[in-house]
Structure 1
Amino acid sequence: MHEILATSFDTHLPLAVILLRLLVACGLGLVIGIDREARDRPAGLRTHMLTALAAAVFTIIAIEMIETFGAGGRQTQLDPIRVVEAVTAGVAFLAAGTILQSRGSVRGLTTGAGMWLAGAVGLASGAGYLTVAILGSLLAIIVLLPVRLLESRLFGKPPIGNEGNEDDS
């Protein structure tokens, strides 16, 4: 029993590194989800945080599997791009669920794009590319907040609220 427990908790990445990557993913998912939560959209803070966290967990699992099963000259084929594809497909499925079409109006595109970005940020965080994850999140904040104010001034879109603008749901 001791051997089973010992090998079940062994990781190639140090626990502190795993924890940091997961915390960064959660934190950046929160940052991306703030705008959606403030606008009372269906996918807000928790959804974006969980999306980023799940992507980071899948990425760390892939890294651990490569270390575990790819070592020792075995004939195992390991392709980290498959993890990116799988996470992207899963997040796209969730994001598509936030997009609604009703009476010629499309709503939820920005929320869906935010979830997609949260997945990418989670992948970057899980892989240890924290600079990429942080920069992606900072740019998301610029797109979601100052660009929204610019849209308001240039195109007369309300700066905040639940009005039915097609790409702000």
Structure 2
Amino acid sequence: MTLQEIILKLILSILIGGVIGSEREATNSPAGFRTHILVALGATVISLIQVEMVNESIKLINGDEALANAIKIDMGRLGAQVISGIGFLGAGTIIHTKGAIKGLTTAASLWIVACIGLAIGLGYYSISILAGISVVLVLVSLKRFEKRFIINAGNYKIYIEYTDKGETMKYIQDSILNNGIKIINLEFYQEEDEDKKKIKSCLLTVKIPKFYTLNEFLLQLAANEYINQIYEVKD
């Protein structure tokens, strides 16, 4: 493998990893621009090492045919270790906070960037470029579709901070029953601020019917005297 070819592969992995990482960076994801580049570069380097090992093995076998049975070539071993190992990095980007799980898309993008890096290192340029374009299209173009038709298809997570749990829950129940809203999930929290003052809150997941909007529901809840703060939690 020539030096020019190695440089080309490394530059291509930086470009594709950077483009995908920049989209994640724009959404304030746990793993952004540089992380995706490093993952792509690392996977590419592993592939380059693998290719060089195969080339060296072939040279040794050509020089001494007796080594043909002694040298075993496995093109997929190092790549398989990269794919399994990237799972630990991906798991580190997944965050669970206030009942919402964030970072799954970033973990998936890290995994696919590693796969693209392996493809670049092995010299599959067409697959690498088309895969990179596909990932960007999924992250950018399909994001709007997902928000409109999947995530926001009537299901919402609402954070509520209150002073009296009983009165607040009674008011929420009355509001829900009067407007045909369905409770999907309800989680309660109790924390302390810097002044050691207890903060009572809950995360309410509801399904709102088409004839009723989220803003109307939030305004109705905000009118309650026992509710201090209320807002939508976006994944």
Identity fraction in percent: 36
1:64 is aligned to 2:52: yes
Q: 1:88-141 deviations in whole A, cap 9, x for unaligned? A: 022111111111233432211000000001100100000010111111111111
Give the whole-Å Cα distance in 2 for the aligned partners of 1:134 and 1:54: 17
Structure whose residues are more often helix by fraction: 1
Root-mean-square deviation (CA), in Å? 1.5
Unaligned runs of 5+ residues in structure 2 are 154-232
Residue 70 of structure 1, CA deviation = 4.0
Contact map agreement 1:55 1:87 (CA 8 A) in 2: yes
Q: Higher Cα Rg: structure 1 or 2? A: 2
- How do 1:1-169 residues align onto structure 2 when only pairs under 5 Å count? 13-71=1-59, 72=61, 73=65, 74=67, 75-155=70-150, 156=152, 164-165=234-235
What number of residue pairs does the alignment pair up?
Answer: 148
| Normalised TM-score (structure 1) | 0.82
DSSP-derived class of the 2:101 partner: strand
DSSP-derived class of the 2:14 partner: helix
Structure whose residues are more often strand by fraction: 2
Contact map agreement 1:107 1:164 (CA 8 A) in 2: no
| Normalised TM-score (structure 2) | 0.60
Q: 1:27-73 deviations in whole A, cap 9, x for unaligned? A: 10011112110011120010000000000000000110111134314
AA of the residue aligned to 2:129: I
